Structure 1
């Protein structure tokens, strides 16, 4: 497993380096290396100021945020699929994405608290409100984990409708276009503050999840089996649900709605590395980071100079991959 982890890190770093060379302005891989080592004070190699700004201030922060989003959303998908025993569960099943969209629209279109919290802050608060609604609905239901899924579906539809209503009733064409672009997932204008936030949240999520690997393995066999193995079912489920909600809310507030990452990559990790979460969790996070770096790079250059929303890119890649995974799984069974 250590060898696979090292290989994953090497592939990720290689993908990151190559992605830095892609774009409207050509930057060689050697120059990318020199720029990065200069900024981390390992070397002092002369480089062009324009290339330094392109790589260090634009492409690298964007790629790192993409990697954090891929790792974090993949992690949340792996947790939810085991926790809810639902192979179609992904981070947005909790209604978090739709709530974040509504919060962003209320700030961006109606200006509610815009000068204080900003678009990302509004998205984060909206995500938390949506998750709170899911927990409230699930609490008064008696259908077990299925109540969380059904509550998430209801919350998603409610907040999607509210988002559409606000855009239709109050937004002009420019506001509607800007908001819709954000809702499709956008990594434009990412800065180092965004890198710090997304990597801190995703890293903390990975660390916490690693503490619950045996519990996640037990949940795969049902609540009764998990309880017989010493797992505090209610408390563990609550902690992991809140964790996935906070990770998803943070990532959506920064980068918008990015679909299919949390749905597809956990399945890919399980097919390649097996069912044990000691392998699935690190593999999913690593695959998510690599996947999103390449999707973002492709989205950036596909229709240059106009960037393709990264959420569109993940859907275009994610749907065929998911179909292939389903076909492969069907043949094995």
Structure 2
């Protein structure tokens, strides 16, 4: 998505295409062009090893660094290896559904440039499980490979679709994410409610137990949940052997962008305007789930905002929309900033900063 949206995407081999041509294309056409370019090896590769300060163990996965590419960019598992070679510590493909689906009608992707925000209502457009499976089968990815699974819009049983996803990818992925928090599939967020969530996690984890390997499973939740809903999720999750949470998906609220161009478009808001809300929800979940691993997502746009996610309680983070406006070099900038922050605190590893300001973020007292 970021390539489709941004004139500031700076890949040296693609700079002419990006700045001169992408803005003249339909956004999704431009995105497809960039996926093709990445697949052809035109993205820069990381040239220096990550600092020891960033080495992270997440649910048994040894990461060179705790900065990942979030789901949504590589929906069809076309460029997992090039993204890893750029320096991401983990790469999450998808969301993939059992059957291919075209998603919602176009246009369905909108920039809010003045706020560095993005609204999308893509609707899980993807080529389906089998296409992703064939691309990933036997692929060597020099980072943790996540597969984000979802449900087809017209499925008679959403939960059954997640079970099929676990069956398909449990022995191939380094971790799985059950995405039940997209606002663009009607009824999907209802799976975050008590009984539905109990059934979902019960069936997903029972299916995982039958796989050859015990793949870590994460649950991705919305930032629009109130504290009572967070209580319910935490209670349900802690009664299972779920491996972790991803906080959070996009928001349907518009307070942070009210009155700006495209702010009234239907869909999920991501990017910088999501940062405060998603980080507060992250901290509030950290208070509820103890040491359960959490991946922090939402609005990271600088080294300072990345550090704040860890301080709020994240064990790892993921980027996406901010790279629309910050370019691919934002990844290296953030990693260097995190190393500097660890050293400034006289620590040896980023893990030592996790949760250091959880209480302030949870109470809404912390801001960048």
- TM normalised by structure 1 equals 0.29
Give 1 or 2: higher helix fraction.
1
Give 1 or 2: higher strand fraction.
2
Asked which structure has the greater CA Rg, the reply is: 1
- TM normalised by structure 2 equals 0.27
